Amino acid sequence: MIIGLLGFGTIGAGVYEIIKERGAAEVRYVLDIREIGIPELTHNMEDILADSEVDTVVEVMGGLHPAYEFVTAAMKAGKSVVTANKYLVATFYDELIALAKEMGVAFRCTAAVGGGIGWLTALEKAKRAERITALEGIMNGTTNYILSNMKEKGLSFETALSEAQALGYAEADPSADIDGLDIMHKVMLSANVAYDVSVKKEELFVAGIRTITDEDVKAFGEKGLTCKILGSAFENDGAVAAFVQPTLLPADSMTASVPANFNLISYEAEHSGKMSFFGQGAGRYPTAANAVQDCLDLAAGKKEFYTNESKQIALSNDKVSYRYYIRTTAKSAKALCKEPFGPGYLTEKMSVAEMQAAMVKIKAEDEKVFIAALAE
């Protein structure tokens, strides 16, 4: 296998090191705009596209552009693609799968969800034998680090976020993490693979943790609850629900106990029950190792994507219901607030779709609103 590596940041450097160490493939080109002092460096994507011996392109640049243009050009040049870019794959899901099939090349993105966990390959194998009824878990290490430290150390959100940034867990602009967008892309890919569908981004309900306060967290702890932000998807009789939301869990539950920047993702299968996957959800070597494993699968002859179908569906978030904790000054939320709970209130049981619709009005009045589902 001869590889053209796109990007030499944190993950790209890890891919380069692991492949060099293992000697299982050749990295012939590394595309980067910087002068990074390695002999494989090129500044021109055309060098990779024009080399007929390069059979695989590994994209770890991140972002949509020029990653999209480079990945599609690679496929059209007959080269298989491995990527860790969940934003790219979720945004252009149908197009990329169709193009890979049309060009007869392989397309894999295991490192895009769960970093080093190998979550998508686990779903791929499980669904061959039985129906996946649900998937849920902590899919973002940055937000888990923030919430864990708010609870364990009594930190404010701002202080916990600053610590995460200082350690390199959170970006200078942490919006994708704290607003739930990173998890949204991971839930989309997970649901698509598990249920052979193509979820539309605009239909997902996404609630983040930007507005959580230490007073909220203290009140949850006094009730024996821990707040985690979870990505979830459920399937029943062909109806699929998918959403991202802070969730209040019993403090002694397995998910509530996940520390620091770790991930814990689980699926519920029809016959084998619940299976959970714990590990580093990000980081240079865990994520890079999964990208390299994808390359080695391709070298061993694996060509298929994780699913052969992508049915176009509308989400059924009206099929899943919770009681919600809500803290807001919005008058439009008054009818929802049924029971005092710390600095906020609990609602009666309502569907995710109902909360999704309510939040549109509430946010227009109160940008600092915070909600969390109460796990049953």
163 CB contacts (<8 Å, ≥6 apart)?
A: 145, 149, 155
Ranges of CATH 3.40.50.720 domains, the chain: 2-108
Query: What pLDDT is recorded for position 280?
Result: 85
Tokens 């149908």 locate to 94
Structure token pair of residue 331: 């008058």
Residue for token pair 């934003």: 87
Give the pLDDT confidence score for residue 346 in this predicted structure.
Answer: 98
Query: Would you name the residues annotated as active-site residues?
Result: 186
What's the pLDDT score for residue 127?
Answer: 95
Q: Which pLDDT score is estimated for 170?
A: 87
Q: Quote the CA–CA distance of 320 and 375 in Å, as a whole number.
A: 12
Q: Strand 273-280 to strand 132-138: parallel, antiparallel, or no bridges (unpaired)?
A: unpaired
**Residue ranges in the chain whose pLDDT is less than 70:** none
Give every CB contact of residue 194 below 8 A, 6+ residues apart in sequence. Answer: 123, 127, 132, 135, 233, 235, 267
Confidence at residue 136, expressed as pLDDT on a 0 to 100 scale: 98
Please tell me the predicted confidence (pLDDT) of residue 267.
Answer: 98
| Bridge partner list, 136 | 232, 266
Residue 103 near residue 301, CB atoms below 8 Å:
no
Cα-based distances in Å from 363 to 103, 202, 323, 337, 372: 45, 17, 19, 15, 15
CATH 3.30.360.10, the chain: domain bounds: 119-281+313-374
Closest among 179, 163, 186, 185 to 212, alpha carbons compared = 179
Note the pLDDT of residue 283. 82
Q: Which fold has domain 2-108?
A: Rossmann fold (3.40.50)
Rounded Cα distance, 197 and 207, in Å? 23
**Res 8: pLDDT:** 97
pLDDT at 153: 96
**pLDDT (0 to 100) of residue 281:** 81
Cβ–Cβ < 8 Å for 29, 42: yes
Tell me the C-alpha to C-alpha distance, in Å, between residue 266 and each of 117, 269, 273: 11, 10, 10
Strands of the 26-31 sheet, one edge to the other: 41-42, 26-31, 2-6, 56-59, 80-83, 107-108
Distance CA 77, CA 8 (A): 22
Homologous superfamily, domain 119-281+313-374: Dihydrodipicolinate Reductase; domain 2 (3.30.360.10)
Q: Which residues, at least 6 apart from 251, have a Cβ–Cβ distance to it below 8 Å?
A: 221, 224, 225, 226
Q: Are strands 225-236 and 2-6 parallel, antiparallel or unpaired?
A: unpaired
